[in-house]
Structure 1
Amino acid sequence: MSFETESNKSALPKEKRGRLTNLVSGLGKLPPQALDLEEAVLGALMLEKDALSAVIDILKPEVFYKDAHQKIFESIQILFTASSPVDILTVTAQLRQQGNLEMIGGAFYITELTNRVTSAANIEYHARIISQKFIQRELIRISTDIINQSYEDTSDVFELLDYAEKNLFDIAQNNLRRDSRKMDDIVKESLKMLESLRGKEDTLTGVPSGFTALDRVTNGWQKSDLIIIAARPAMGKTAFVLTCARNAAVQFNKPV
């Protein structure tokens, strides 16, 4: 169960990367990155047919630091979505079709990536490191934006708080671990839940909020719910959420 408030959208990826590069260059540091792991993961994806299923929920094109690697993974994603085979030849053809082959270094670079791979055994671990480096870069970018806007006298402090909250929430939400599950496990869990509901005295299927009219509409907060509390600053969003949490814990003995 998560709560989010409405606020401004993030900048475009290239603008983000430009600001981040300028910042860390000024500090005499490179942005967090793992180019060797990016190369190893991309090479493994083109060699091992089962490797992509292990990282498809972890990686996105934007998590790669190098532009060429973003384009290569984007092509791999397109092939995977179309249920087409993913290998050196198909990825090269897809990049050529999109007009990106020369930009990434040509077919020679694709071959070089596969030559650097010895095994795909640790590809999921490597993918998570790549994702973590991306999160670090995003945190640096957001922190820099917040610092710069905080020095502006014209900035609305409440809008800035909403901006910080929204962007930090997006980082956490977009990088949650999503593991694949077997269908028989899902069916067993669903049957168990139905059995527990049959023996309940009340009609609520989720966690009560303590507000009867609201619970009548929602049947309680559900595990899969994303609750968006939208209102102007100082209208009581935080107080309402805290009251819901207190009611669930104190009145209904639910862990919060």
Structure 2
Amino acid sequence: MIAEQAVLGSMLKENYLIVESNLLASQFTDPTNRTIFQSMMELRIAGKAVDLVTLLTTYSPQDLGGANYVNDLTNYAHIDKFDDHVGVMLDIWREREKKNVLHVSMHEDWSIDRITIELAALTDHRVSDHSDIQSMLVDVYEDPFVEKDITDGAPSGIDRLDEMTNGFQDGELIVLAARPSMGKSDVMLHIAKQAGWKGYVPMIFSLEMSATSLRDRLIASTGRFSRSRMRDPYHMLTDHQKENWSKVIGLVSETKIQIFDRSRQTVPEMRMKIRKMMSEQNGLKPLILIDYLTLIHSDENKHNMHLQVSSITKELKAMAREFNCPVITLAQLSRAVEQRQDKRPMMADLRESGSIEEDADVIVFLYRDAYYSKDDADNGMELIVAKNRNGPVGTAITCYNKFTGEVLNRETSSEGVIV
């Protein structure tokens, strides 16, 4: 177990590596090395130095393999190759856990989907859903004393919305709901573009609209081209717009958006596609977007829509946690909103609202006065954050051009748009 000894030796020399490694004691194969690592963790959380003397005077040397064994660990230390040694160690751990998963699955007759999920989970450092409070406290022990970069979530490109949510967070289920033709798909594409330009890889599961339709919408909103003219760019775009065409294509390309447009997709199918893409692209930061919730196919509870939606939302929330990324799904509102004088949506307007309201971390409603007044000069759009599990609720005001699909933070000139 030379890799384990090299890891422990490096930690003895540089104590910060105990935290940086993100390792668990259970990931050490050798019982003695496991005990040494656990002892290091305990000393670190107690605010003590982790060195030879402290280890041997705080714990029984016999439990640590003896004084000579602990002392010799520093001979294996190689700080520059620390990550390589951790990698070797984790490869051994994963192989051990893989054999265990296959053994248990055979005796307990697991489904293929469960086996796949369990094996995919081994790409993470965590061996199970168990968290030791000491390990968790180590992660935050130095927070008041060492300045850290605050990591924002996936951006929406709408400043006020990002202020409320701090960006869409990993592991969260976000529901974006509105009446038909309110602009849901365009807001979804706007979020996908903004996140793509910030380094995320947006994956759109379009259960209603074709990939080519989404492509054309992306081009139109980015280039401020009227969608009606996108049907025949050769004859209908102006010379100025044609000059900008290649630049717009380049900008859309930089989003790295991936589109899966087969209808009647199930959540397990989506998971399989996400997992495959993540395995193909190391370092992938995924953002999952689904258009839309009630078009997701499920073989369960076919005759009870409420139970079916409840099952799907729970699966989507589990998917967000499994891949540690934001999952944004569009949803339709019921016709009840049309019968009120104030037609701004409320929670009760969500179709099958109980399960959606329970499972979603963030719920955002879209509302446009112009949708009802038919006033083409009114480009205001409200994004009403009705639920925000980890932050404030409120309303973000933005501008929406229904001819191009462009979403803007504030009113700007629509020069160049030909309707």
| Residue 48 of structure 2 corresponds to residue 88 of structure 1 | no
Q: 1:36 to 1:237 in 2, by over 3 A?
A: farther
> How far apart, CA to CA, are the structure 2 residues paired with 1:45 and 1:242?
41
SS at match of 2:80: coil
Identity of aligned residues (%): 18
| Residue 126 of structure 2 corresponds to residue 175 of structure 1 | yes
User: Which residue of structure 2 aligns with residue 208 of structure 1?
Assistant: 175
> How far apart, CA to CA, are the structure 1 residues paired with 2:42 and 2:102?
33
SS at match of 1:207: strand
Q: Which runs of 5+ in 2 are unaligned?
A: 128-138, 180-285, 287-298, 302-307, 320-326, 333-365, 367-404, 406-419
Contact 1:51 1:120 in 2 (8 A): no
Alignment of 1:49-68 (within 5 A): 49-55=15-21, 57=22, 59-68=23-32
User: Which residue of structure 2 aligns with residue 40 of structure 1?
Assistant: 6
1:201-254 deviation per Cα after TM superposition (whole angstroms, max 9, x unaligned): xxx977326599xxxxxxxxxx9xxxxxxxxx945489725997998379899x
More strand as a share of residues: 2
Q: 1:141 to 1:116 in 2, by over 3 A?
A: same
Contact 1:72 1:95 in 2 (8 A): no
Residue type of the partner of 1:135?
Answer: R
Q: CA deviation at 1:147?
A: 1.3
User: Which residue of structure 2 aligns with residue 113 of structure 1?
Assistant: 73
Q: 1:249 to 1:172 in 2, by over 3 A?
A: farther
Contact 1:210 1:247 in 2 (8 A): no
User: Which residue of structure 1 aligns with residue 102 of structure 2?
Assistant: 143
Residue type of the partner of 2:82?
Answer: I
Residue type of the partner of 2:97?
Answer: E
Alignment of 1:1-256 (within 5 A): 35-55=1-21, 57=22, 59-96=23-60, 101-117=61-77, 119-150=78-109, 164=115, 167-168=118-119, 171=122, 175=126, 185-186=149-150, 189=152, 196-197=159-160, 207-208=174-175, 210=177, 234-235=300-301, 236=308, 240-241=312-313, 248=329
Q: 1:132 to 1:196 in 2, by over 3 A?
A: farther
Q: CA deviation at 1:64?
A: 0.4
> How far apart, CA to CA, are the structure 2 residues paired with 1:137 and 1:73?
19
> How far apart, CA to CA, are the structure 2 residues paired with 1:194 and 1:64?
44
* Count of residue correspondences: 180
Normalised TM-score (structure 2): 0.34
Q: CA deviation at 1:168?
A: 4.5
Q: CA deviation at 1:173?
A: 5.6
Q: 1:45 to 1:210 in 2, by over 3 A?
A: same
> How far apart, CA to CA, are the structure 1 residues paired with 2:39 and 2:91?
22
Residue type of the partner of 2:84?
Answer: Y
Contact 1:54 1:124 in 2 (8 A): no
Contact 1:41 1:126 in 2 (8 A): yes
Contact 2:25 2:35 in 1 (8 A): yes
User: Which residue of structure 2 aligns with residue 227 of structure 1?
Assistant: none
> How far apart, CA to CA, are the structure 2 residues paired with 1:166 and 1:197?
37
User: Which residue of structure 1 aligns with residue 233 of structure 2?
Assistant: none
Q: CA deviation at 1:61?
A: 0.5
Residue type of the partner of 2:57?
Answer: A
Residue type of the partner of 1:196?
Answer: D
Q: CA deviation at 1:41?
A: 0.9
Q: 1:211 to 1:110 in 2, by over 3 A?
A: farther
User: Which residue of structure 2 aligns with residue 217 of structure 1?
Assistant: none
Q: Which runs of 5+ in 1 are unaligned?
A: 1-34, 151-158, 213-222, 224-232
More helix as a share of residues: 1
SS at match of 2:47: coil
Q: CA deviation at 1:138?
A: 1.1
Q: Answer 1 or 2: higher relative contact order, Cα 8 Å, separation at least 6.
A: 1
> How far apart, CA to CA, are the structure 1 residues paired with 2:74 and 2:177?
57
> How far apart, CA to CA, are the structure 2 residues paired with 1:199 and 1:116?
47
